Structure 1
């Protein structure tokens, strides 16, 4: 007995309640957007003032630098000061020089001054405490080497920038200028630097210049001077308030990057000391400014700017509340409309659970979530039906009542599947498989006979078949206690170092493929001079055997098989492996009816061995792409061409290109127009015909570009959906 649901527990009302909540949320978003637009208007109003203020601040720093340089120039040109510096250099008597610097600080317009000898030794400094070593200050280094500075784009004669003072009684960041010192005779005496601190007092003075109008009253504009995004000086009562804001706000990290690139920020919101501000961060310019991340933050209060927009918000709120009742009524109707197809899906799911899958859902998929669910359910139904149909065909094939076609085993038993076909340029055809007696011994070596232990690990249980590369054995891996297929390379190929090198390389790549639709390649080894490859052992039926005697397959099976092959190719291409020989004989079905692609990594080594033989082609001519025939570079789209040939054959029972003469067949691949699947199999969907036509394009660039794309299209076709990708 189904439990009784209360009215508010039904899907329709649950959907309605959620939709109502969404509408309320939407109203909140509208109000928020209105507020943001109000902020945007305030931001545009503030931007002009902030931009102008930033420009004034930049000019103010330049003017301050010129002012300090004027005092420095007068000091360094006075002969008595030059003589004093020269005397200090010669005698080491530095006290008088230090006293002179301290006495002249007011005239220099500075709060720190220091003189550096040509060798970089600090001769005198006005800062109290131990005399520092030469600081890493760009402007001092430029003043000591003016020629190098000029070559670097700083012509002098003075150099303006910033430095951090970590010694003395007034540590901090300073705005400074430096000049070279020289005697009347032109001898270098070193350099001299003067500077003023970047502190609260500087912030107050600079704000007065940057913001027009009175500064009294509350709220008021504020200025903070930054180094490495920490306030060195500000007009706020609590300087740490700015530091806390910059440290905890992730949005400022991007702004910091802009400042490092020398760009002014956009208008940003700030909340400092309980008030909201709009501000702009502007990088400061000068030597070492980038290293110290020097910037200024000019802030204007928000409340006076937002006042005109408050009434607009109130009007929006009133209109939103009035329209909410209408919107909620419509949402209930919409909820009931959505639940109708869901009820149909529930009924179909219950029927499926009882073992009676419905023939059709009777629901047209919509472009919303319900449509996605509908398409997914249809896909599942199509998959289950196709699987049941395929398993029935496979069972018929195994029992021998569905036409010819023996049971095949994993690891490519079929000799035609094992070995790529080798076609001479004339009309003769020779294969790497089924070697004649004079090329391949009729018997197996003792180490490979049934019951023998090969490579101290594999017990030979029997011969699965012979192929172009050699023999395929069923063996028992005694270390892992499982059956595997062991492919032994025949002597003719084993004696070719180029073949073995290429085979090892391809096996290394093929081992990386782990996918449910790919037969697993385990390892490459060599024992007693016999090279071998181990692979997953799987007893099953090949697609070739399934096709023999039937001609074509039903659409549902075609789409399922092609989609699984495409997904297997997608996994292989993702690790850089191209199969080069996709064909029905290399597709094996397991007991669950899932397709598995065989022989990854085995076509390329053979191609490499005979690449130098004139007129020789490697592959299966019926499925060979134009670029393979021409001996050009192959890629993932080469496998997609072969998949297109196979799709055409599965749909129509005919090969798109066929001829008893090999040369004629290859010419058809190269030159013949792509045949129409719609004409060969009129009952197939038009979109499938378009897909096959794209896969069979002569030029790789004109085909589908990935197996992923093909798999997605096949999934859509399996549910009866069209796709815009086939335009």
Structure 2
């Protein structure tokens, strides 16, 4: 971070009267692009997320994402450095300037381990998972739910500190469903916004009269823990094969017999991934269990495979 780069003839942007030079593309999604930019004055690197707002509703969604960022000041929740709405040929772009983390996402780290035939030490799993839980607790304590917790939405800094990102799906934690029409609206929204292989069971077939709450995140959290242990999500293969994820999530999660992690970690995973949301724990309970596992086995390691 902060190293000097040649800025000869490079495209630049200005946000909040500060100038940034474009360095390279980082990522691209359906309606958003992420570029690496460098601050001209401070020489630091940042991630610039550009959201294409095709209509008034799109602009409002981008504004809500900005407000979600501004609501939190927590080491495990991605901060917003600056933002701006820019008009281009009659269309609006939302520019969100975010901290850049060179290590990338948790998913990219897990992919590298898988490619090397390695695994993540249990001590590191607990450290990262505790940070994810802490960030999620901050969100839940404000009365919101993330709704799209997954390894690609967790960034890691150089010290393996996890930071939750991408608040485009975040909304109020408690949603009261009154009638089949509302149920179908939420189900359709979840199909668009909540990644299928990390989506909670109650979002696949939303009941006509029920309450959806922040425990949708707890299910996704369990999928992330499974992914850290097995280097792939519990339903990734089912989705890739074209089989029904909606059907698979109704059954208890299956931990492979080859799993080398401690019984305590496996029990924690099974306790989180409960299909019935009413029987699923809240984030405070999960955090307590993680801290307990860390205190009972501070030097727990799993041999690299």
TM over 0.5: yes
Q: Which TM bucket (shorter chain)?
A: 0.7 to 0.9
Alignment of 1:171-570 (within 5 A): 450-455=10-15, 457-463=18-24, 464-476=26-38, 483-490=45-52, 494-528=53-87, 529-551=92-114, 552-570=119-137
Structure 1 residues 108-123: aligned runs within 5 Å: none
Contact conserved, 1:511 with 1:522, CA < 8 A, in 2?
Answer: no
Asked if 2 retains the 8 angstrom alpha-carbon contact of 1:570 and 1:708, the reply is yes
TM-score between the two structures when normalised by the length of structure 2: 0.74
TM-score, length-scaled by structure 1: 0.33
- The answer to which of 644-653 and 481-490 deviates more is 481-490
Instruction: Assess, with a 3 A threshold, how the Cα gap between structure 1 residues 498 and 651 changes in structure 2: closer, same or farther.
Output: same
> Deviation of residue 616 (structure 1)?
4.3
- For residues 282-341 of structure 1, the C-alpha deviation after alignment (integer angstroms, 9 at most, x for no partner) is xxxxxxxxxxxxxxxxxxxxxxxxxxxxxxxxxxxxxxxxxxxxxxxxxxxxxxxxxxxx
Is the contact made by 1:477 and 1:484 (CA closer than 8 Å) also made in structure 2?
Answer: yes
Say if 1:648 and 1:692, in contact at 8 Å, map to a contact too: yes
Counterpart in the other structure of 2:218: 640
Q: Is the 8 A contact 2:21 2:40 kept in 1?
A: no
C-alpha displacement at 1:569, in angstroms? Answer: 0.9
Deviations 1:380-403 (A, max 9, x none): xxxxxxxxxxxxxxxxxxxxxxxx
Q: Where does the alignment leave 5 or more consecutive residues of structure 2 unmatched?
A: 2-8, 172-184, 298-305
Q: 1:701 to 1:466 in 2, by over 3 A?
A: same
Whether the 8 Å CA contact 1:621–1:662 is kept in 2: the answer is: no
Partner of 2:177: none
In the alignment, the residues of structure 1 paired with residue 10 and residue 45 of structure 2 have an alpha-carbon distance, to the nearest angstrom, of 14
Give 1:519 deviation, angstroms. Answer: 1.9
Contact kept? 1:553, 1:650, Cα under 8 Å: yes
Q: What residue in structure 2 maps to residue 620 of structure 1?
A: 195
Give the direction of change, closer, same or farther, for the CA distance of 1:581–1:662 in structure 2 (3 Å limit): farther
Distance of aligned partners of 1:450 and 1:578 in 2 relative to their CA distance in 1, 3 Å threshold: farther
Per the TM alignment, residue 450 of structure 1 is displaced from its structure 2 partner at its CA by: 4.1
Q: Does residue 164 of structure 2 align to residue 597 of structure 1? A: yes
Q: Tell me the SS of whatever aligns to 2:77.
A: coil
Between the aligned partners of 1:519 and 1:568, the Cα distance in structure 2 is 9
Q: CA deviation at 1:642?
A: 1.0
Task: Check 1:621–1:614 CA distance in 2 against 1; reply closer, same or farther (3 A cut).
Answer: closer
Alignment partner for residue 247 of structure 2, among 662, 667, 678?
667
Normalized per residue, which structure has more helix?
1
- C-alpha contact 1:510 1:577 (8 A) present in aligned 2: no
Structure 1 residues 627, 480: CA separation in 2 closer, same or farther (over 3 Å shift)? farther
Pair 1:571 & 2:149 matched? no
Written as runs of structure 1 = structure 2, the 5 A alignment for 1:698-713 is 698-705=275-282, 707-713=283-289
Structure with higher RCO (Cα < 8 A, 6+ apart): 2
- For 1:478 and 1:581, the matched residues in 2 are separated by 34
Instruction: Give, in angstroms, the shift of residue 651 of structure 1.
Output: 2.0
- Map Cα deviations across residues 409-433 of structure 1 (whole Å, 9 max, x no partner): 9xxxxxxxxxxxxxxxxxxxxxxxx
- Is the Cα–Cα contact under 8 Å of residues 572 and 578 in structure 1 kept in the other structure? yes
Shift of 1:531: 2.1
Which residue, 261, 283, 291 being the options, matches 1:684? Answer: 261
Query: CA distance change for structure 1 residues 692 and 579 in 2, over 3 Å: closer, same or farther?
Result: same
Note the alpha carbon deviations across 1:222-277, whole angstroms, 9 max, x for none.
xxxxxxxxxxxxxxxxxxxxxxxxxxxxxxxxxxxxxxxxxxxxxxxxxxxxxxxx
Distance in 2, matches of 1:654 and 1:478, equals 40
* 1:582 has 2:161 as partner: no
Deviation at 1:482, TM superposition (A): 5.1
User: 1:697: Cα distance to partner?
Assistant: 0.8
Paired residues of 2:252 and 2:273 also in contact (CA < 8 A): no
State the aligned residue count. Answer: 262
Question: 1-side partners of 2:98 and 2:136: how far apart?
Answer: 18
State the alpha-carbon separation in 2 of the partners of residues 672 and 579 from structure 1.
Answer: 24
Task: Tell me how large the CA RMSD over aligned residues is.
Answer: 3.1
Alpha-carbon separation, structure 1, partners of 2:192 and 2:37: 33
Is the alpha carbon distance of 1:506 and 1:627 closer, same or farther for their aligned partners in structure 2, counting shifts above 3 Å?
farther
Question: For the residues of structure 1 that align with 2:148 and 2:123, how far apart are their CA atoms?
Answer: 24
Q: Taking structure 1 as reference, are residues 488 and 641 closer, same or farther at Cα in structure 2, changes over 3 Å only?
A: same
Q: CA deviation at 1:622?
A: 1.8
